[in-house]
Amino acid sequence: MSDDEITRPSDVGSADAPPVEEKPYKIIFEANKCFGAGKCAEVADNWTMDIKSGLAQPESYFFDEEDLEENVRAAEVCPAKKDDGCIHVVDRRTDEEIAPDPHGDGTLSVDW
């Protein structure tokens, strides 16, 4: 997938998404970059480690304010991609990356 194929972060994996009003936040997970450190599962109930693959997996990709803090924490503690992480929390209303936001400007830091 090239950068010009993605116009907005909120479009990624949104075919079966709940309404933005109900679940304004989403996870974009670079599973191909995950190496199974398990830090996300240590800090967030939404994240588990898959026994077969040895990699992380979210229970839900879409969530509301109640689950925001734990998913932001999971994104921040992920050591993949030289500590930029492979878990990205995006505000579907603004298309801004909330975490890990290594660029500091809200742009999506996915390494396709």
Q: Supply the DSSP string of 28-93, one letter for each residue.
A: EE-GGG-----HHHHH-TTEEE-TTT--EEES-SEE-GGGHHHHHHHHHH--HHHHT-SEEEEETT
Q: Is residue 13 part of a domain?
A: yes
Q: Is residue 30 part of a domain?
A: yes
Q: Is residue 22 part of a domain?
A: yes
Q: Is residue 40 part of a domain?
A: yes
Domain span at 38: 3-99
Q: Is residue 82 part of a domain?
A: yes
Tens-digit pLDDT profile for residues 44-79? 999 999 989 999 999 999 999 999 999 999 999 999
CATH value at residue 32: 3.30.70.20
Average pLDDT in the 10-38 region? Answer: 91
pLDDT at site 6: 57
Q: Is the peptide bond before 79 cis (omega within 30 degrees of 0)?
A: no
Q: Is residue 10 part of a domain?
A: yes
pTM above 0.85, yes or no: yes
- What CA–CA distance (Å, rounded) separates 92 from 17? 10
What is the pLDDT confidence band of residue 1, given thresholds at 50, 70 and 90? very low
Domain total in the chain = 1
